[in-house]
Amino acid sequence: MTKFLLAGGGTAGHVNPMLALAQSLRALDHEVLTLGTKEGLESRLVPQRGFELLTIARLPFPRKPSLYALMFPFKFAAAVIAILKMIKTHKIEAVVGFGGYASAPAYLAAFIARKPLVIHEANALAGIANRLGAKFTKNIAVAFPNSDLSPAAITGMPLRPEIVDSVSGYDKEQARIELGLNPFMSTLLVTGGSLGAKSINDAIIDSRSVLNAAGIQILHIVGDRANLEEISEPGYRRMAYCDRMDAAIAASDMAVSRAGSSTVSEFAACGLPAIYIPYPVGNGEQRFNAATIVEAGGGKLVSDSEFTAKYISTELIPLVSHSSSVRKMSQAAKSVGIPDATERLRDLVLAAVNTKTRD
């Protein structure tokens, strides 16, 4: 049995793969502790899954001159020292990082403590923490083949067990019934992520009647911050959050979505074709996340400004209504999906530990 420290947090793209690996390691009787911050999503999700969360102060990298930038090296050093104490106190034997605020000091601490270190990068364009951590280890795993971290093993994105189970064959009609949908209507899943996407929400709401007239029902996940009332009526169900994404994916013929790494990976693994609308702010990593599945024919890229009621009427409805095209896109998506990503990453982690032990 090996005692692991898994570091990561802040967003679902860091926390969910960390928890997927944690569950897989625990299933093999390894002991797992996690490292994050009190402010991140991990503070809620990690205890829910039954894992202990160790915390350090939230330390975003400074991006411009400021008093915080002057103090950052000292705060970072303090975090590294704190993690070194955790490694010693808890007898940690290996560290796995997923990016986020807690990961960068954990990488340096693992290097100083001479513990095996594995890094997983969820996005095609790596974040600052993982670019730094890559200098300390050769054990790097990436979710997408077009990742800018190289050399690296393409393990894919570790997925939640319930999502993987849906890949093996969830009855579509039953899934629709469970979600309060018509079991016999073509279904469009719309999601902008946990916080929602106003532009996507507005375009879909404006097009409800047109979509319904075309025989397409909508499962619309608007996000927690959308402040839109939940609705369940013929041809349209709207909810702030869906805790049954396995059923939602299984129930759907096509999706409209942002291109976060977890979403793209889940859709590909399940063979769900999608219109990907990358988040228009930031470094553009979402466009790169979707690139592989789009090149394979399993999805289409549309800019945020182009996704309008007109696009839905002239492009989306004809596509969803053409069943043979939807089937081809589904097959193409599945051809690049990696449903066993959790096992691939777990095996890489265990190999890194075994190699270090032999050394």
Tokens of 213: 């007239």
Mean pLDDT value across residues 59-80 = 90
List, in order, residues 6 or more apart from 249 with CB less than 8 Å away: 163, 166, 189, 255, 266, 267, 270, 272
Together in a domain, 323 and 242: yes
Together in a domain, 289 and 243: yes
Nearest to 104 by CA among 65, 78, 130: 130
Question: Which DSSP symbol is given to 151?
Answer: S
Together in a domain, 296 and 276: yes
Together in a domain, 149 and 166: no
Together in a domain, 140 and 217: no
pLDDT of residue 352: 95
pLDDT of residue 90: 97
Together in a domain, 206 and 319: yes
Together in a domain, 112 and 216: no
CA 304 to chain centre: 20
Nearest to 40 by CA among 10, 15, 7: 10
Number of domains in the chain: 2
pLDDT at 91 over 60: yes
pLDDT at 23 over 90: yes
Together in a domain, 19 and 149: yes
Mean pLDDT value across residues 259-269 = 94
The CATH number covering residue 31 comes to 3.40.50.2000
pLDDT in tens, 270-320: 999 999 999 987 778 899 999 999 999 999 999 999 999 999 999 999 999
Per the structure, the complete domain to which residue 137 belongs is given by 3-159+340-358
- The rounded mean pLDDT for the chain is 92
Together in a domain, 188 and 311: yes
Mean pLDDT value across residues 140-145 = 96
For residues 219 and 179, the answer to whether their CB atoms sit within 8 Å is yes
Together in a domain, 286 and 138: no
Rounded percentage of the chain residues whose pLDDT exceeds 90: 76
Q: What is the pTM of this model?
A: 0.91
Together in a domain, 50 and 198: no
Residue 304 Cα distances to 258, 301, 333, angstroms:
9, 10, 22
Neighbours of 159 (CB within 10 A): 25
Together in a domain, 297 and 185: yes
Residue whose pair of structure tokens reads 């999906």 in the numeric block: 337
pLDDT of residue 358: 52
